Amino acid sequence: MPLIEHLAELRKRILISFAFLGVAFVALFNYSEKIFDLLVFPLNTEIKIILTRPFILFVSKKPVPLVFLSPAEGFWMHLKISLVAALVVSLPAIFFQVWRFISPGLVEKERKYFIPFIVSSTVLFLLGAAFCFIIVLPFALTFLLGYKTEHMTAMLSVGNYMDFCVKFILAFGAIFELPLLIVFLVRFGFMTPDSLAKKRKYAILAAFVIGAVLTPTPDAFNQTLMAVPVIILYEIGILVSRVLYRKGRHG
């Protein structure tokens, strides 16, 4: 298709994605309070690592009160929660529109990856979001709130807290798409599994740099919480792409 038709098709897919997002937003707005109750889990939970089973303990701690500093902040918080929840619920539909946009450029045998693409992209995003929510945020918030002293008391704005959580949840969800990105790069001939393996040391360095930039705390432990999954995902991407690369060469 010429460029104008490509842009028209892209516009169509974006509008359909926004339509799904809007419907999900309206439906979930009525449940924003229940979603909010779930999102305070990292704030009121401390993770302790022990040497015996179950190795990781989730311990409830004294609830930290959340306040709103402007008349509209509480309302906007509910809107943000509903929007992010709608985005998560709409992911399969959004990824489907992405597939519909790129599929005309694929040959027939490549289009059979439609269902694996939708399922894997959605599952990887949800795994990343869950890992951040259950593991990273409790560690980070416990560390950051540990700076309070007799002269300083934590007073968290509900809007700032939600922004803090949402940014990291979405960031981890996006990072967990790394294996899928690697598979696509190999599948379309931009890279090979061998070239990715040779660049492993740079990938490890990049993982720790990303961890240092994106994690909310300056300590090495929380940076490692992000860097290690990125490295593991990189290796998974190489393994999967190697299998597909061999099949493609023999197929």
pLDDT of residue 22: 93
Instruction: Give the whole-angstrom CA distance, residue 156 versus residue 152.
Output: 12
pLDDT of residue 82: 92
pLDDT of residue 215: 63
Q: Please check the confidence at residue 20 and state whether its pLDDT lies above 80.
A: yes
pLDDT tens by residue, 41-54 = 888 887 777 777 76
CB 104 within 8 A of CB 1: yes
Looking at the DSSP bridge assignments, the partners of residue 45 are 60
Q: Please check the confidence at residue 108 and state whether its pLDDT lies above 60.
A: yes
Instruction: Give the whole-angstrom CA distance, residue 171 versus residue 181.
Output: 15
Q: Over the range 113-136, which residues count as b (16 or more CB within 10 Å of their CB) and which as e? A: beeebbebbbebbebbbebbbebb
pLDDT tens by residue, 208-249 = 887 777 665 566 666 777 788 888 888 888 888 887 766 655
Average pLDDT over residues 183-205: 82
pTM over 0.85: no
Q: Which range in 14-28, 37-51, 92-106 is most confidently predicted, on average pLDDT?
A: 14-28
pLDDT tens by residue, 166-189 = 888 888 888 888 888 888 888 777
For residue 122, give the nearest of 149, 98, 106, 144 by alpha carbon: 98
Look at 101 and 223; give whichever has higher pLDDT: 101
The neighbour count for residue 69, using CB atoms within 10 Å, is: 11
Burial of 83 (0-12, 13-18, 19+ CB in 10 A): middle
pLDDT of residue 214: 67
Look at 165 and 215; give whichever has higher pLDDT: 165
pLDDT tens by residue, 74-93 = 888 889 899 989 998 998 89
pLDDT of residue 110: 67
Report residue 23's pLDDT band, with 50, 70 and 90 as the boundaries: very high
Sign of the Cα pseudo-torsion (118, 124, 129, 130, in order) = positive
